Amino acid sequence: MILSKISNPVKYIHHHLQHLQINIKKLIFPNDHTTKTFWIINIDSILFSLFLGIIFLLFFYYIIIRLSIKNPSKFQIFVELIIEFINKNVKDIYSGNNVLVAPLALTIFIWILLMNTMDLIPIDFIPYLLNVTFDIPYCRIVPSADINVTIAIALVVFILIIFYSIKTKGINGFLKELITQPFNSYLFYLVNFFLESITLLSKPISLALRLFGNMYAGEMIFILISGFLPWWLQWTLSVPWAIFHILIIFLQAFIFMILTIVYLSMATKTHDL
């Protein structure tokens, strides 16, 4: 929430959509004034992602070192329920025997869930504290609303898909699937390769854009509520939207996890060619 009416909502929205950035190219080549965004790094997204990842690891480590079979704590029971939930989905979807899939699914689910949950924090709270304390002008606290973060996670999944496809089928088998599916005829090899390449590349793109689009839209709605309503009226819209947004936060983390398991399961299946 904000404590006073926004004089210029457009500038307010633009301000909250601006990342805390560092231009690597300007640091290395200060006299080069060409504008290329490839060299720009969103520091806020990286730092909050790392911060939430460390919280995730420390919390689970805390539970592990205090593990008790006879007298489990409430936190231990909570963690066991999450692990059981992940394991059940992996067993139902993944047909192979891979020790990496369950930990990967757990990491993706919890990490994305934590990043999404940052969207429930009032949009002016942390940026205001950082501005007052460290004179930081811009800051976005929802890493999953940054397309760079979602693409990075999706690319890791994509690399694993390629790796396990080649490991299971071999390079020849992997390439053969690209040219012989879905039409097993030499007349359609080029068509098959085109269709299968699109299918393969669409997996990381769909993972990244689905998560980014939903979280960016949710963040934008909170910004619009704060920018166009006085502070004493904001709760009438922000509270109902936050309650509904909790479902989106959980659902997007769950969908990303499920699709990761599905894609890895598909990568380890062989076809009779």
pLDDT at position 124: 85
Q: 247 falls in which pLDDT band (50, 70, 90)?
A: very high
Q: 258 falls in which pLDDT band (50, 70, 90)?
A: very high
Q: 1 falls in which pLDDT band (50, 70, 90)?
A: very low
27 in a structural domain: no
Lowest-confidence pick of 41-50, 109-118, 144-153, 231-240: 231-240
The mean of the pLDDT values for the chain is: 87
Active-site residue 206, yes or no? yes
State yes or no: pLDDT of 210 exceeds 60: yes
pLDDT at position 14: 84
Lowest-confidence pick of 33-47, 169-183, 240-254: 33-47
CA separation for the pair 43, 143 (Å, rounded): 10
22 in a structural domain: no
Per annotation, catalytic residue among 23, 131, 148, 210 = 210
209 in a structural domain: yes
Pair 101, 94: CB distance under 8 Å: yes
33 in a structural domain: no
What does the buried/exposed string (b/e) look like for 150-181 if buried means 16 or more CB atoms within 10 Å of the residue's CB?
A: bbebbeebbebbeebbeeebeeeebeebbbbb
Token output for 198: 């699109």
- Interior CA angle at 50 toward 113 and 120, to 5°? 40
pLDDT at position 271: 60
What is the pTM (predicted TM-score) of this model? 0.88
Token output for 84: 């059981």
37 in a structural domain: no
Work out how many domains the chain is built from and give that number.
Answer: 1
> What is the residue-wise DSSP string for 88-146?
HHHHHH--S--TTHHHHHHHHHHHHHHHHHGGGS-TTHHHHHHHHHH--------GGGS
34 in a structural domain: no
Active-site residue 89, yes or no? no
Residues in the chain: 273
35 in a structural domain: no
Residue range of the domain that includes 242:
9-14+44-267
Residue 208 or residue 40, greater confidence: 208
Per annotation, catalytic residue among 73, 197, 202, 206 = 206
Per annotation, catalytic residue among 42, 49, 144, 214 = 214
CA atoms within 13 A on the CB side of 110: 22
- Taking residues 202-209, report their average pLDDT: 94
Residue 43 or residue 272, greater confidence: 43
Who contacts 187 (Cβ-Cβ below 8 Å, separation ≥6)?
A: none
Task: Dump pLDDT digits (tens) for 67-102.
Answer: 888 888 999 999 999 999 999 999 999 987 888 999
pLDDT at position 272: 55
- CA distance readout (Å), 247 to 57, 59, 254: 24, 23, 10
State yes or no: pLDDT of 2 exceeds 90: no
State yes or no: pLDDT of 4 exceeds 50: no
State yes or no: pLDDT of 255 exceeds 80: yes
Task: Dump pLDDT digits (tens) for 11-35.
Answer: 888 888 899 988 876 777 677 666 5
Who contacts 177 (Cβ-Cβ below 8 Å, separation ≥6)?
A: 165, 169, 196, 271, 273
128 in a structural domain: yes
Q: Cα dihedral sign for 142, 145, 150, 151?
A: negative
Tell me the Cα Rg of the chain: 22
Active-site residue 210, yes or no? yes
State yes or no: pLDDT of 169 exceeds 80: yes
Q: How many other C-beta atoms are found inside a 10 Å radius of the C-beta of residue 255?
A: 15
Residue 203 or residue 182, greater confidence: 203
